[in-house]
Amino acid sequence: MYKPRNIIIGVIAFLALIFFPVWSSLFTTGEAVGAEISLDTPMINAMENPKCVEDTEWMRANHMKLLADWKVEVVRNGNRIYVAEDGQKYLASLQNTCFECHSNYDEFCLKCHEYNNVSPTCWTCHVEPTVVEEGNK
Ligand code: HEC
Ligand code: HEC
Ligand code: HEC
């Protein structure tokens, strides 16, 4: 015979496991970042429902892997289209995709990288967005 109590405990444990990403993120809001990063860019401000290519938590942990994958896809396989988890398609491009939204490199990428002591060596070849000064155009 099954004991109903054990079944209930089993169901609760199962649900806790399934929803782990949800409740674990509730307790870690912003903590992992540390640095004050800004999302204040024309492109992001214009979005009705601002979101990244993938889920924010995932991006925080995996954006470097995503970029490395994009590079391999583009350079080795000639594939420039990335299909996100939600089915949305993006051009696999640092310049035309990441920096289109995150055009405030200094206040976003750089700020967090300095805080975490990382310095990606991409900018000898790729162009990082810089603020165009008035009268300098
Ligand atoms: C030695 C030069 C060089 C360095 C350093 C370099 N790349 Fe690239 N990368 C290239 C070239 C060349 C391409 C091919 C460009 C194309 O076909 O559009 C490319 C393509 C890419 C692409 C896909 C296409 C695009 O326009 O974005 C991504 C993403 C990318 N690189 C990311 C990175 C990242 C992230 C770093 C730093 C960790 C990096 N690269 C460092 C030369 C470099
Ligand atoms: C369509 C606009 C858009 C594009 C394209 C985009 N992002 Fe984002 N990104 C956002 C928005 C909006 C957020 C914040 C979402 C939130 O607050 O939940 C974000 C969040 C992030 C975060 C997490 C920041 C944090 O809160 O810790 C990282 C890292 C990131 N983006 C990197 C990238 C990289 C790298 C690329 C290119 C591969 C990229 N983004 C492309 C709009 C974009
Ligand atoms: C919320 C903090 C945060 C933000 C915002 C962020 N990064 Fe990062 N990034 C990191 C951390 C931390 C690492 C190092 C991770 C590791 O070494 O495992 C990293 C590593 C990288 C690397 C790999 C570096 C290497 O040498 O291997 C690249 C490329 C990169 N980030 C690009 C970007 C770009 C482009 C943006 C802005 C569009 C951005 N990041 C925004 C935290 C951030």
**How does pLDDT run across 38-93, given as a tens digit for each residue?**
999 999 999 999 999 999 999 999 999 999 999 999 999 999 999 999 999 999 99
Q: What pLDDT, on the 0 to 100 scale, is given for residue 16?
A: 64
Report the residue count for the chain: 137
Which residue's alpha carbon is nearest to atom 1 within ligand 3? 33
Of 66, 69, 102, the one to substitute when testing ligand 2's pocket (max ligand atoms within 8 A of C-beta) is 102
Q: What pLDDT, on the 0 to 100 scale, is given for residue 60?
A: 97
Q: What pLDDT, on the 0 to 100 scale, is given for residue 135?
A: 39
CB 93 within 8 A of CB 80: yes
Q: What pLDDT, on the 0 to 100 scale, is given for residue 129?
A: 78
Q: What pLDDT, on the 0 to 100 scale, is given for residue 12?
A: 57
Cα–Cα separations (whole angstroms), residue 35 to 66, 107, 115: 21, 10, 6
7-41 per-position pLDDT tens digit:
666 665 665 655 555 444 444 444 445 789 999 99
79-137 per-position pLDDT tens digit:
999 999 999 999 999 999 999 999 999 999 999 999 999 999 999 999 887 654 443 33
Report the alpha-carbon distance of residue 123 to residue 35 in Å, rounded. 22
Q: What pLDDT, on the 0 to 100 scale, is given for residue 88?
A: 97
Q: What pLDDT, on the 0 to 100 scale, is given for residue 19?
A: 58
Does ligand 3 have an atom closer than 6 angstroms to the CB of 102? yes
Report the alpha-carbon distance of residue 21 to residue 34 in Å, rounded. 20
Q: What pLDDT, on the 0 to 100 scale, is given for residue 11?
A: 62
Pocket around ligand 2: residues whose beta carbon is below 6 Å from it?
33, 39, 44, 50-53, 56, 59-60, 63, 66-67, 97-98, 100-102
Q: What angle (nearest 5°) sits at the alpha carbon of residue 86, between those of residues 83 and 92?
A: 25
Which residue's alpha carbon is nearest to atom 41 within ligand 3? 109
Cα–Cα separations (whole angstroms), residue 78 to 38, 40, 63, 73, 104: 33, 33, 20, 6, 29
Q: What angle (nearest 5°) sits at the alpha carbon of residue 42, between those of residues 117 and 64?
A: 30
Which residue's alpha carbon is nearest to atom 9 within ligand 2? 52
Cα–Cα separations (whole angstroms), residue 31 to 5, 13, 16, 74, 113: 37, 26, 22, 34, 15
CB 119 within 8 A of CB 112: no
